[in-house]
């Protein structure tokens, strides 16, 4: 059958199993939106307040489900407003397809109204991108884009479609989506045996697990590996919910704001086993900081092998598939002396109960946890509150922690919360925010209210850009240059102005009642949680310092 480009696009999206699009209409995508109107019973379109919110929502949808998130924007400023969200997804390896409109082909390259070279702009922050020059290629491009977004190391793909392409006609035939095979074609027995030999010989192994565990769904295999070799395990920020936190060998997050146990063990182990993670500068990126440990690195992306840390042995391939084959080659082991050291260091992670009567991050997450039966999904903005959530909350299920890691995008959390809540209607999504981050994209409250999404936003209100202020306090002799906000914004009234509910918490004794009311509410809620602006995230490793050179609250106070 012969269909317009807009019809081919929508039918191809249905072929790929797309049920939700996050977007914002405009002139260059009018034909596409006209077609979406006809198919509104099959594809739900969520009208966002801003295109950046659409990209973050598609990202949150993908992180919550493992499926490809889809966002749609018009040409020019609509397309460029997606860029931060696309970069966020790229840095964290999130499968997304971003669709943009553009001016007709005869106007390309002429500085036409609302024309930008969005494929040129996004080339460094996409796995691949396309500008459709021939309608005959449109269906094939859409099919390829979804395959590329999911295959290997996931990531965002952009499709730019000139407006005249959406009006032209071409033949369309329904196509089955191209099947994504787990990437193990380069996996050899020799590689497996080399890695297995190093693990079997190690007395003091330590596992550093990253976002690849989530992307590959290697949760059961990771637990089996830990139990078989009795290795302590730490996770990166991107893998916070990928391993049971109550497991006796779990030592917490690793890195700049990681736990003392994780950071010290990484420097004392004789074998560091890196699984689905990259050695970035917020964790370990300097070979000398690993001391005398050998390194095993397993990752699906060959570009990450030996990029920052030289590996003594490595395997390139899908983590779940690799672990399934590797575990059978490993001997069961248990070094009591090493495990005693692990327990000794884990005692350093215990949160001291110093009740001064003030509202604290620890208190908030302790109370929130009392309401969680495993149903909560926690999204975050970026800053101190993000680290507090990662450190203090007890995550019970995979994909229950959604946060911007590699790019550190302030303003990310609310859009991501909308995407996650739309995707998983039976879960309860709670966005942890700082007053600085929340101010960036609080306009998306209008989207949550319009769609009656029961998202709870908890704002750590410390009247400052808390993480930047912390750096100024520690490294800039307390010169607080433009990090004190002093804004007159009333977050309770703001929530009500958008049509939601708002609460303010000043006292500990009020929190339980406020959380109870918020969770009973069927629509969006904002909770203004007032904390002291001098409260810091500890422990901390200074930029460029060795991972075991830990700054603690005791160091500062003494």
Catalytic residue among 1, 38, 42, 113: 113
Going by C-alpha positions, the residue among 325, 300, 321, 332 that lies closest to residue 190 is 325
Distance of CA 444 to the CA centre of its chain: 18
- Residue 530's SS3 state is strand
Give me the residues paired with residue 156 across strands.
Answer: 96
Q: How far is CA 83 from CA 45, 289, 326, 387, in A?
A: 20, 35, 39, 25
Q: Say which residues have a Cβ less than 8 Å from residue 45's Cβ, sequence separation at least 6.
A: 20, 21, 22, 23, 36, 72
In the annotation, is 540 catalytic? no
- Residue 115's SS3 state is coil
Catalytic residue among 114, 228, 324, 394: 114
What are 3's two structure tokens? Answer: 């269909």
d(CA 309, CA 304): 9
Catalytic residue among 11, 67, 163, 294: 163
Write down the number of H helices and E strands in the chain: 23, 22
551, 541 contact by CB (below 8 A): yes
Q: Say which residues have a Cβ less than 8 Å from residue 246's Cβ, sequence separation at least 6.
A: 394
Q: Please give the DSSP secondary-structure letter assigned to residue 374.
A: S
Tell me the residue ranges of DSSP E strands in 74-195. 96-102, 128-131, 156-162, 169-171
In the annotation, is 52 catalytic? no
d(CA 289, CA 354): 33
Q: What is the dihedral of CA 530, 534, 538, 543, to 10 degrees?
A: 120
Q: DSSP string spanning 157-218? A: EEEEEEHHHHHSEEE----PPPPPPPS-TT--HHHHHHHHHHHHH-SSEEEEE-THHHHHT-
Going by C-alpha positions, the residue among 66, 22, 25, 73 that lies closest to residue 48 is 22
What are 169's two structure tokens? Answer: 């006609």
In the annotation, is 421 catalytic? no
Q: Say which residues have a Cβ less than 8 Å from residue 451's Cβ, sequence separation at least 6.
A: 46, 418, 422
In the annotation, is 114 catalytic? yes
Catalytic residue among 256, 387, 467, 540: 467
What are 310's two structure tokens? Answer: 């030289």
In the annotation, is 113 catalytic? yes
**CB-side neighbour CA atoms (13 Å) of 99:** 31
Catalytic residue among 7, 51, 168, 304: 51
Q: Say which residues have a Cβ less than 8 Å from residue 49's Cβ, sequence separation at least 6.
A: 443, 444, 446, 447
What are 100's two structure tokens? Answer: 């943009």
CA angle at residue 546 from 545 to 547, to 5 degrees? 115
Q: What is the dihedral of CA 43, 48, 53, 56, to 10 degrees?
A: -20
Q: How far is CA 227 from CA 62, 202, 204, 345, in A?
A: 30, 15, 14, 19
d(CA 534, CA 531): 9
d(CA 46, CA 54): 8
d(CA 267, CA 275): 17
Known catalytic residues?
51, 113-114, 163, 467
């Amino acid at each position: 059958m012969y269909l317009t480009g807009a019809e081919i696009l929508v039918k191809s999206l249905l072929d790929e199993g797309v049920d939700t699009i996050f977007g914002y209409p405009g002139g260059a995508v009018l034909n596409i939106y006209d077609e979406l109107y006809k198919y509104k019973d099959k594809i739900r379109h969520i009208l966002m307040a801003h295109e950046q919110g659409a990209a973050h929502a598609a990202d949150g949808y993908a992180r919550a489900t493992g499926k490809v998130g889809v966002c749609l924007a018009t040409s020019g400023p609509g397309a460029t407003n997606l860029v931060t969200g696309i970069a966020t997804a790229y840095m964290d390896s999130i499968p997304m397809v971003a669709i943009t409109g553009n001016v007709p082909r005869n106007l390309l390259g002429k500085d036409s109204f609302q024309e930008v070279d969005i494929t040129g702009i996004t080339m460094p922050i996409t796995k691949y991108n396309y500008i459709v020059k021939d309608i005959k290629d449109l269906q094939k491009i859409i099919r390829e884009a979804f395959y590329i977004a999911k295959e290997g190391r996931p990531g965002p793909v952009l499709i730019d479609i000139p407006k005249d392409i959406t009006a032209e006609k071409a033949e369309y035939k329904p196509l089955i989506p191209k099947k994504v095979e787990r990437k193990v074609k380069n996996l050899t027995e020799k590689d497996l045996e080399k890695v297995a030999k190093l693990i079997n010989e190690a007395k003091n192994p330590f596992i550093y697990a990253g976002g690849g565990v989530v992307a590959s769904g290697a949760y059961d295999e990771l637990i089996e590996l830990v139990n078989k070799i009795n290795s302590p395990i730490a996770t990166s920020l991107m893998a916070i919910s990928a391993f049971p936190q109550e497991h006796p060998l779990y030592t917490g997050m690793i890195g700049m704001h990681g736990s003392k146990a994780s950071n010290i063990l990484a420097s004392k182990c004789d074998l560091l086993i890196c699984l689905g993670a990259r050695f970035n500068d917020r964790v370990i990126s300097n070979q000398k900081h690993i001391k005398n440990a050998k390194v095993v690195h397993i990752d699906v992306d060959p570009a990450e092998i030996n990029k920052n840390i030289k590996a003594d042995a490595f395997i390139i391939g899908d983590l779940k598939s690799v672990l399934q084959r590797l575990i059978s080659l490993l001997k069961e082991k248990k070094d009591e002396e090493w495990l005693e050291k692990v327990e000794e260091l884990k005692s350093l992670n215990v949160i001291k109960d110093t009740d001064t009567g003030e509202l604290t991050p620890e208190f908030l997450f302790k109370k929130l946890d009392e309401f969680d039966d495993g149903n909560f999904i926690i999204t975050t903005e970026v800053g101190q509150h993000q680290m507090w959530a990662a450190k203090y909350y007890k995550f019970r299920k995979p994909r229950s922690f959604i946060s911007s890691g590699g790019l550190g995008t302030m303003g990310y959390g609310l859009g991501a919360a909308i995407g996650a809540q739309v995707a998983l209607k039976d879960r309860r999504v709670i966005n942890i925010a700082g007053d600085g981050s929340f101010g960036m994209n609080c306009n998306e409250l209008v989207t949550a209210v319009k769609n009656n999404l029961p998202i709870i936003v908890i704002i750590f209100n410390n009247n400052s850009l808390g993480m930047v202020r912390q750096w100024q306090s520690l490294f800039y002799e307390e010169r607080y240059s433009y990090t004190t906000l002093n804004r007159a914004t009333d977050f309770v009234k703001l929530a009500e102005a958008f049509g939601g509910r708002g609460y303010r918490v000043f006292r500990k004794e009020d929190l339980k009642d406020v959380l109870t009311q918020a969770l009973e509410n069927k629509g969006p809620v904002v909770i203004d949680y007032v904390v002291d602006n001098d409260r810091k995230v500890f422990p901390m490793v200074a930029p460029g310092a060795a991972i075991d050179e830990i700054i603690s609250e005791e160091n500062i106070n003494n």
